[in-house]
């Protein structure tokens, strides 16, 4: 076989660690370690959730031969120029693992390569792209029958990182609870004080409980902590009145950061992203809507999804037209109230595992949520680990089987 190039297009920190890493390992296993025969390049496109470390992470993968960071992406997309003047072999595949699915269409045409798309939720440009490796049947159902021979189910790449089973009896004895209040001010304003109040209620009933809060890469530690300060965030008093401050402890010569309340409750702040190793210690999580629910679902972690509406005009982070209307000058506040009131009444599903399953696997709590009510639900789960295990198994089932990376490598080889 002639020497080949495999160009992987990706973008954010989650995709680089949970998608690219297992796939490049599987590609080397499938196609061999001889870089003179098979060369693997990673090209990053801009991402709003970028930490700036994606290229450095990709360069640490021994299976990868070349990496280009995101600031050079559009120069290549538009004019075909890479920062380091890469050469290209006659034969190859463009493999999409994050970003905009239009990018592999343009780049594949430019290089004359076949295109393979990993489609987690939606397959686009299916008339012109060559092949899709999709997460589940739901993606295929949305495609016209004529094009479905271009798609095959490989499962969820994140499932390759998921534990097959967790011992919830043992975990519930000394529980770890994850708190994921979001990454934008519209969610953090209510989410941080509400979760703090819920954690306080659980802590008073079950003081051996440990809490962790992975910090989203788009905000810094001090900004997050400010949402627990009533002088900065008036919603602290509206969401239960539990405030917190930043505390630093030096454990084994390594600083650890906590959000601590007046009663001594400490929530460990995790800066590592993605925080899968920490989240896998959790028997359950409190989370807002969004990508967090997909991540927790892939890891099989039971969750309580929170949509508080104590202040109806506070939540302005909806996607699409509702988000645009809610953020308009002058009228935005009133429109946000109308939109959020409508959301509460319409009864639609928001958590990704529930959307995939078309039913409520994990509870979505909407309205003027009270910390004690939510905390009692969590305590009931901790006292009944069988409930946690049932949710865990359903989450793993809806997210698909392990082995997606190897199936993608097989597809790439067939396209070659």
What are the pLDDT digits (tens) for 242-265? Answer: 999 999 998 776 789 999 999 999
* Structure confidence at residue 54 (pLDDT): 86
33 burial via Cβ count (<10 Å: 0-12, 13-18, 19+): exposed
Task: Of 273, 251, 332, 344, give the one whose Cα is nearest residue 306.
Answer: 344
Write the CB contacts of 244 (distance below 8 Å, at least 6 apart in sequence).
Answer: 196, 225, 228, 229, 259, 260, 261, 267
Give the fold, CATH level 3, of 168-209+272-399. Rossmann fold (3.40.50)
Query: In sequence order, what are the beta bridge partners of 268?
Result: 212, 258
The class that CATH gives domain 4-155+401-415 is alpha beta
Give yes or no for residue 313 having a pLDDT over 50.
no
Q: How many CB atoms lie within 10 A of CB 30?
A: 16
At residue 200 the predicted structure's pLDDT band, cuts being 50, 70 and 90, is very high
Give yes or no for residue 402 having a pLDDT over 80.
no
Residue-wise pLDDT tens digits, 207-246: 999 999 999 877 889 999 999 999 999 999 989 999 999 9
Residue-wise pLDDT tens digits, 171-189: 888 999 999 998 888 789 9
d(CA 210, CA 195) in angstroms, rounded, equals 14
Residue-wise pLDDT tens digits, 337-365: 565 566 656 667 888 889 878 899 999 99
Residue-wise pLDDT tens digits, 51-90: 777 898 899 999 999 999 999 999 999 999 999 999 999 9
Domains 4-155+401-415 and 168-209+272-399 agree in fold? yes
CA dihedral 178, 184, 190, 192 (to 10 degrees): 30
Q: Which residue has the higher pLDDT, 394 or 121?
A: 394
At residue 94 the predicted structure's pLDDT band, cuts being 50, 70 and 90, is very high
Write the CB contacts of 10 (distance below 8 Å, at least 6 apart in sequence).
Answer: 16, 19, 20, 42, 43, 44, 45, 54, 58, 97, 98, 99
d(CA 68, CA 75) in angstroms, rounded, equals 11
* Rg of the chain over all Cα atoms, to the nearest angstrom: 23
* Structure confidence at residue 248 (pLDDT): 94
At residue 111 the predicted structure's pLDDT band, cuts being 50, 70 and 90, is very high
* Structure confidence at residue 326 (pLDDT): 47
At residue 206 the predicted structure's pLDDT band, cuts being 50, 70 and 90, is very high
Residue-wise pLDDT tens digits, 285-307: 999 987 788 889 888 899 999 98
Average pLDDT, the chain: 87
* Domain assignments of the chain as residue spans, ordered by start: 4-155+401-415, 168-209+272-399
* Structure confidence at residue 129 (pLDDT): 93
Give yes or no for residue 159 having a pLDDT over 50.
yes
Q: Which of 131-145, 155-169, 221-235, 242-256 has the highest mean pLDDT?
A: 221-235
pTM of the model: 0.74
* Structure confidence at residue 341 (pLDDT): 61
């Amino acid at each position: 076989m002639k020497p080949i190039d495999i160009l992987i297009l990706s973008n954010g920190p989650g995709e680089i660690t949970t998608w690219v890493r297992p796939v490049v390992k599987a590609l080397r296993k499938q196609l061999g370690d001889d870089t003179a025969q098979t060369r693997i390049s990673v090209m990053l496109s801009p991402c709003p959730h970028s930490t700036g470390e994606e290229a450095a992470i990709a360069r640490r993968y021994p299976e990868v031969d070349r990496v280009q960071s995101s600031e050079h992406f559009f120069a290549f997309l538009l004019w075909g120029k890479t920062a380091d003047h890469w050469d290209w072999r006659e034969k190859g595949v463009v493999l999409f693992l994050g970003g905009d699915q239009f990018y592999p269409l343009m780049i594949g045409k430019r290089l004359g390569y076949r295109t393979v798309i990993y489609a987690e939720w939606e397959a686009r440009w299916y008339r012109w792209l060559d092949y899709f490796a999709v997460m589940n049947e739901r993606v295929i159902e949305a495609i016209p029958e004529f094009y479905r021979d271009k798609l095959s189910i490989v499962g969820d790449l994140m499932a390759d990182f998921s534990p097959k089973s967790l011992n919830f009896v043992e975990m519930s004895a000394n529980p770890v609870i994850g708190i994921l209040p979001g990454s934008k001010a519209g969610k953090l304003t209510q989410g941080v004080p509400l979760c703090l109040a819920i954690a306080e209620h659980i802590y008073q009933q079950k003081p051996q409980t440990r809490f962790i809060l992975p910090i989203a890469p788009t905000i810094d530690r001090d900004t997050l902590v400010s949402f627990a300060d009533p002088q900065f965030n008036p919603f602290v008093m509206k969401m239960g009145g539990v405030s917190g401050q930043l505390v630093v402890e030096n454990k084994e010569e390594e600083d650890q950061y906590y959000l601590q309340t007046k009663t001594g409750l400490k929530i460990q702040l995790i800066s590592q992203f993605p925080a899968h190793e920490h989240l896998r210690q959790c028997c359950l999580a409190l989370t807002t809507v969004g990508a967090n629910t997909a991540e927790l679902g892939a890891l099989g972690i039971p969750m309580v999804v929170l949509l508080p509406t104590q202040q109806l005009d506070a939540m302005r982070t909806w996607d699409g037209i509702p988000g645009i209307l809610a953020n308009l000058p002058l009228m935005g506040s009133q429109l946000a109230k109308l939109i959020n009131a409508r959301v509460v009444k319409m009864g639609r599903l928001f958590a990704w595992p529930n959307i995939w399953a078309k039913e409520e696997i994990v509870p979505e709590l909407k309205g003027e949520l009270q910390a004690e009510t939510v905390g009692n639900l969590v305590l009931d789960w901790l006292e009944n680990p069988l409930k946690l295990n049932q949710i865990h198994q359903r989450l793993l089932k809806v997210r698909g089987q392990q082995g997606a990376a190897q199936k993608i490598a097989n597809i790439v080889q067939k396209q070659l």
